[in-house]
Amino acid sequence: MNAQRFLQTQFWAEFKANHGWKAFYFSVDADGHLTKLDSYPQGVCDENSLTVLIRRIKGFSIAYIPMAPELTARADSSVAVTEEERIEYLKKISALAGELKPLLPKKTLFIRFDPPVDFTGLSDRQSFAQDKITPGKNFPCKIKKSHVDIQPPDTVLLSLEKSEDEILAAMKNKWRYNIRLAAKKGVEVTRHHALDPDFENAFNQFYNLFEQTSKRDGVSFHGRDYYIDLLKRGIPEEGSEKPKITLYLAKHEDDYLAGIITLFCKREAVYLYGASGNIKRNLMPAYLLQWTAIQDAKKEGCPVYDFYGCPPTDDENHPMHGLFLFKTGFGGTLVHRPGSFDIPLSPLYGLYDAAEKLRAWWFKKAMKKIGRR
């Protein structure tokens, strides 16, 4: 039995419930049947529990299931999923949607899944993530590839099961050099948690860097309260298995240069958010930040460090090509996930789907073309 992915933990459900979502909890029996629970299931095996997030939008609801259900017997992401496995998995989520429908709020437009299936080959991912599965004998519910992916479909996973020397050796030479350069030039990395006496100042410095990043790169971000709430909920507690949230800052002399927020839990370490300023970038603070977090995650016993999102290929024309180079340079494995799938529950889903597609086009294409992002 594997530990839960952080998006299916009670910690994350309660956090999102404080920011516009409502968490529904279910237990799942051996036949796939669901029982709705009043609270998060305690003492239940991970694979026998399910968290569904619900959001109300103008009198309607949408249901979202992040990183569940698991594809059983999937130990090696380099092995392609067979067509039989794919069909069985999609049948599973189709049946799950049928079980969920009467247990969800009325006027729920659709259920959106983010299948936690990892591929190391793009062609394998593309074969899995076909555009549409029409209803039929095996699929009582229509399954449609969403126009919008909620979680990043491409990421870099760095195994922490090797020694620090081995992890360093697997990095690109320039990355090891940049880590040493930052330390040699006097860049200092500090760790901050919400109960620390200096937390308010540390967070203000981070948020200022966030605003600089947004203006420079056109990156959207949440309000201050969102990140403060996350950090407060993730205060380290001795003997607790809840995720630990840490704010890291890179500083040189009196200047704050960059910052990241990470999540450590039993199954994984995740680089959630990052920000950087516009000065002293030649001191390479981001490299030392990541290396410090990687070292801490290894000490915490996390088996893997998830860089959480990057372009799918080494395409020099991609607007985020620099991010691809940065994250892959640490020596991890580039992983591709199928992205989001929708199961429509209402005839009005088509209107929502069209509006979401138009909105995605506007923010990704039009706004950038007219220089507003």
Check whether 353 has a pLDDT greater than 60.
Answer: yes
Instruction: Out of 169-178, 289-298, 346-355, pick the least confident.
Output: 346-355
Q: Give, for 373, the enclosing helix (H) or strand (E).
A: none
Most confident of 69-78, 120-129, 183-192, 215-224: 183-192
R_g (Cα) of the chain, nearest Å: 21
Quick: pLDDT tens for 266-288.
Answer: 999 999 999 999 999 999 999 99
Quick: pLDDT tens for 31-42.
Answer: 888 999 999 877
Give me the pLDDT at residue 234, please. Answer: 98
Q: In 3-state terms, what secondary structure has residue 23?
A: strand
Residue 33 to residue 218: CA distance in whole angstroms: 44
Give me the pLDDT at residue 369, please. Answer: 37
Quick: pLDDT tens for 216-267.
Answer: 988 888 999 999 999 999 999 988 889 999 999 999 999 999 999 999 999 9
Give the torsion sign (CA, 121, 122, 125, 127).
negative
Quick: pLDDT tens for 193-216.
Answer: 999 999 999 999 999 999 999 999
Q: Give, for 82, the enclosing helix (H) or strand (E).
A: none
pTM: 0.92
Furthest-apart CA pair in the chain: how many Å?
A: 67
Contact between residue 212 and residue 256 where contact means Cβ atoms under 8 Å apart: no
Nearest to 126 by CA among 113, 136, 117, 135: 117
